[in-house]
Chain A
């Protein structure tokens, strides 16, 4: 599904309307995320994303519950993309991970 050229990538992205930036904004709004880093692994077609999401709302939640929060916040977006890999951390966990 990856685009063959940059132009093609830009065009498909424009149609799907999903970019790392649009996803970040939604996550910051809806989950109060303090840090979001989204990588588009699709080569631009807007189908495959990997995300690091840091939010205090993840505190004391299981991985499943964290993913459900994120999935809820991005319901429409995720429905149109093929692959979505969220990695969810609380601010404390993120500090530790960065330090490690």
Chain B
């Protein structure tokens, strides 16, 4: 039951192409100050694609197998209990990527990690996952989005995947 999640290392691979040093006017020193204040377009784009890598995406500290923070651990456990389909799930370890760690907070306008996205939409952090887990709304959401493991092995023709 705990083996469900795959992890994918940070954003570096995704961001790699975007950060190649072609002549980008935004990288001139004039904009350096601005860039410090706001996450760069590159970071935003990289996070856009990270959020879109799977229907269920969790930004966490550590990996699903070895979470580095109690809150990340709890979030993984909740997703496991809910029966999220590992093939529809990706976790990003923010500890591997400082840019991601800082960027995701601004991207979601949310100050803490972990952060859960379902179908590219921000759901919340551990507290919210916990209360949604308890009141049944998380089960409903995940069910509606079709991201759970089928309850029974259905031999019927499977729908698209």
Residues on A lying within 8 angstroms of B by beta carbon are 63-64, 67-68, 71, 75, 78-79, 83-87
Separation in Å of the A67 CB from the closest CB of chain B? 7
In the complex with contacts A75-B111, A79-B111, A84-B111, A67-B127 CB distance below 8 A: yes
B contact residues around A79 at 8 Å (CB): 111
Q: Which residue of B lies closest to A63 (CB)?
A: B128
How distant is the Cα of A84 from the Cα of B128 in the complex, in angstroms?
12
**Contact: B109 with A87, CB < 8 Å?**
no
With an 8 Å Cβ cutoff, the count of chain B residues facing the other chain is 14
**Contact: B111 with A83, CB < 8 Å?**
no
B71 sits at the interface (CB 8 A): yes
B131 sits at the interface (CB 8 A): yes
Separation in Å of the A85 CB from the closest CB of chain B? 5
A contact residues around B109 at 8 Å (CB): 68, 71
How distant is the Cα of A8 from the Cα of B144 in the complex, in angstroms?
50
Dominant SS among interface residues on chain B: mixed
Q: Which residue of B lies closest to A88 (CB)?
A: B127
Contacts beyond the supplied A68-B109, A71-B111: 15 A-B pairs with Cβ under 8 Å? A63-B124, A63-B127, A64-B124, A67-B124, A67-B127, A67-B128, A71-B109, A78-B112, A79-B111, A83-B112, A84-B111, A84-B112, A85-B126, A85-B127, A87-B127
Separation in Å of the A37 CB from the closest CB of chain B? 16
Among candidates B71, B110, B128, residue contacting A83 with C-beta atoms closer than 8 Å: B71
How distant is the Cα of A58 from the Cα of B111 in the complex, in angstroms?
19
How distant is the Cα of A78 from the Cα of B112 in the complex, in angstroms?
8
How distant is the Cα of A63 from the Cα of B123 in the complex, in angstroms?
10
How distant is the Cα of A67 from the Cα of B131 in the complex, in angstroms?
13
How distant is the Cα of A48 from the Cα of B124 in the complex, in angstroms?
18
A contact residues around B111 at 8 Å (CB): 71, 75, 78-79, 84
Separation in Å of the B144 CB from the closest CB of chain A? 16
Nearest 7 CB-CB pairings of A with B: A78-B111, A64-B124, A71-B111, A63-B128, A85-B127, A63-B131, A84-B112
How distant is the Cα of A67 from the Cα of B129 in the complex, in angstroms?
12
Separation in Å of the B115 CB from the closest CB of chain A? 11
Interface centre among B112, B126, B128, B131 (most CB of A within 10 A): B112
